[in-house]
Amino acid sequence: MPVPASETVYRVAVAVPPEFLEKLMDAIDTVMTPVYPGYRRSFTYYPVTGTWQTLAGYHPYDGAPGKITVASEMRLEFVVRREDLAAVLKTIDNTHPYEEPAVNVTPELAWRSLFH
């Protein structure tokens, strides 16, 4: 079913270690209704480099407390309907290996609403 022209959709973006990319995409796909008619598991991903310094008392997936870590990651992006957003974010939180994954959520217009 197409996204109604008046519906706001959300772009979700998250960096993930390459070895977790397929697992995360599969998990997200199971909790969301397809946005694009006739297609499931519609994602974009590309390589990025992430950097962070873990504070004392935390247990990073990669790196060590007090040290600056630089890691190759994959940036995963996709569009989700409002009614699936909470389930998708919970799935990312439960599946992603990082203690605190950096997740960006941005409202967008359904693109067909611009000319229909």
> How many structural domains compose the chain?
1
The answer to whether position 4 is within a domain reads: no
Query: pLDDT tier at 112 (50, 70, 90 boundaries)?
Result: low
Q: What is the pLDDT of residues 41-76, one digit of tens each?
A: 999 999 999 999 999 999 999 999 999 999 999 999
The answer to whether position 14 is within a domain reads: no
Half-sphere exposure of residue 110, counting CA atoms within 13 Å on the CB side?
A: 17
3-class DSSP assignment, residue 76? strand
The answer to whether position 33 is within a domain reads: yes
Q: Is the pLDDT higher at 76 or at 115?
A: 76
- The CATH number linked to 75 is 3.30.70.120
- According to the model, what pLDDT value does residue 37 have? 86
Domain around 27 = 20-114
The answer to whether position 82 is within a domain reads: yes
Query: pLDDT tier at 109 (50, 70, 90 boundaries)?
Result: confident
The answer to whether position 9 is within a domain reads: no
